[in-house]
Amino acid sequence: MPSPKQLIAAPLTAFLRAFDGARESLRRIVSFSSLAAQLRDQLPASTVVLGRQWVYGTRNIRFGEHTLLYPGCHFETQEHAALTLGNGCVLSRGVHLVAMAGITIGDGTMIGEYSSLRDANHAREEGVAMRDAGHTAKPITIGREVWIGRGVTILGGITIGDHATVGANAVVTRDVPAGAVVAGVPAKPIISREEKA
């Protein structure tokens, strides 16, 4: 014979399962609307926003069609910089994109959890506190269909070619050619698609 707890839990569990799909749809609508309200440009209706996103600075951010955003991404633009994502990009949980010169991400590129693309570094000036000494910035360009693994750091001035792969936790300090696979700190080539074929 079922216990009183089981008698109450069974219909409640069924109700919550039925309600779960509606709750997920509502969460996505609220997350989409929240992000759209933070941007200067229109957010394409095809964008899927799975949770809260954080937008700072000038809000000069453009998303391509069919972008997928996991929760907790950080988007920041300063000065005249723009942050531009192509069509079909995927940004995993906690990705940080900070543009003071500009960041461009090509169609179909996927960026793993907690990766950081920052195009600027703090400057140092004698007798001036670091936070007041300004910065140096160089744009970052990521090609099409690039796979950037979890926890990757990409520094200012870097270009990553189409179809390249960056291994998890790499620190990219030099340009990555199209089709290359790089990993490590600093990131170095480990194989290319051409060698594999």
Distance separating alpha carbons of residues 30 and 119, to the nearest angstrom: 30
Query: Are the C-beta atoms of residues 121 and 102 closer than 8 Å to each other?
Result: no
Active site residue 80: no
Among the options 66, 122, 135, 163, which is catalytic? 122
| Full strand arrangement of the beta sheet holding 48-49 | 48-49, 68-69, 90-91, 110-111, 147-148, 165-166, 180-183, 188-192
Among candidate residues 110, 183, 186, 188, the one with its CA nearest the CA of residue 143: 110
Active site positions, annotated: 122
